[in-house]
Copies of this chain bind each other. A is one copy, B any other.
């Protein structure tokens, strides 16, 4: 306990240092700068293409639904053959701002991440080779890869590069809170401002800071009081093997957190109010009153930004040579 509290104190110092630089420990999200629209458009198609899965049914968008804040709003995802996923699906919105990908940070960046689900037997259950073969059998894709990458050898690297380029556009600027940060003092209400102040004063800001309001460090879940869960995930320890990292998870972004219920790596908290209550007790040793809880929840809802807005991608049709999916065998 003593050590843990010291931990928080030093974290708050760090946050304090960050505060000294800008005025606030949170920074606004900047709109994406697209330098290669053709690459992004190709990535969007791949993100929506269920043919990257064994069944022909599951795409990235199945579990990171861009109509619903970039996650699936399920405790744990539904994968190939309706298999239950091991962990809650995090949002892809603003994920480019995270220090690493996945709850345990085992992928360094979006490119490294994007190859994972395609070959994961619990998720899309395909293989990189089959994915490339599939794409190569489709003239529409072959032409598009050629136009974008300037070569004939379509590869999984090109696939993940395109998906990552699309994901980099999935930022959510212009939240009411960001407008407030940029000087529009009427963008949030007085209560929402109180909620923000409470968020800072209580110590939430120690872990949830920076432009993504999180996403920039790994922290112990259950710092003051242990977290009870049936979920076997061990967090960062799975990557480093270091005992000190056991049950450390990447601090999730709180951007668009209104949309990414349920909460925590096990999806155990159905509502934002529950998640705030748990955070207060387990990370800070604080039991918020109902009013305080409501104020913080109110503030968190000001973090919902402009959702990605684009025309639903049209996928190039399979050719006679494309191997047909067979989801039931």
A309's closest neighbor in chain B, by CB? B311
Bound together, the chains give a CA A34 to CA B82 distance in angstroms of: 38
Bound together, the chains give a CA A201 to CA B51 distance in angstroms of: 37
Are A327 and B78 in contact, with the CB atoms below 8 A?
yes
**A81 CB contact (under 8 Å) in B74, B82, B259, B325:** B82
A55-63, A112-120, A217-225 - interface stretch = A55-63
A3, chain B: closest CB distance, angstroms: 35
Are A312 and B66 in contact, with the CB atoms below 8 A?
yes
Bound together, the chains give a CA A114 to CA B62 distance in angstroms of: 22
Are B50 and A65 in contact, with the CB atoms below 8 A?
yes
The answer to whether A298 has its CB under 8 Å from any CB of chain B is: no
Tell me the chain A residues, 58-101 only, with Cβ under 8 Å from chain B: 62, 65-69, 72-75, 78, 81-82, 84
Copies in the complex: 2
Are A78 and B65 in contact, with the CB atoms below 8 A?
no
The answer to whether A226 has its CB under 8 Å from any CB of chain B is: no
A314's closest neighbor in chain B, by CB? B307
Q: How large is the interface on A (under 10, 10 to 19, 20 to 34, 35 or more residues)?
A: 35 or more
The digit string for A171-213, where 1 denotes a CB below 8 A from any CB of B, is 0000000000000000000000000000000000000000000
A82's closest neighbor in chain B, by CB? B82
The digit string for A285-322, where 1 denotes a CB below 8 A from any CB of B, is 00000000000000000000001111111110110100
A8, chain B: closest CB distance, angstroms: 28
Bound together, the chains give a CA A262 to CA B56 distance in angstroms of: 12
Are B56 and A327 in contact, with the CB atoms below 8 A?
no
Bound together, the chains give a CA A262 to CA B325 distance in angstroms of: 11
The answer to whether A258 has its CB under 8 Å from any CB of chain B is: yes
Are A259 and B65 in contact, with the CB atoms below 8 A?
no
Are B307 and A310 in contact, with the CB atoms below 8 A?
no
New A-B contacts (10) at CB < 8 Å, excluding given A82-B327, A270-B324: A57-B72, A67-B313, A68-B315, A74-B327, A78-B327, A81-B82, A261-B318, A262-B324, A272-B320, A309-B311
6 pairs from A and B in contact (CB 8 Å cutoff): A50-B68, A51-B73, A68-B315, A262-B324, A271-B320, A310-B311
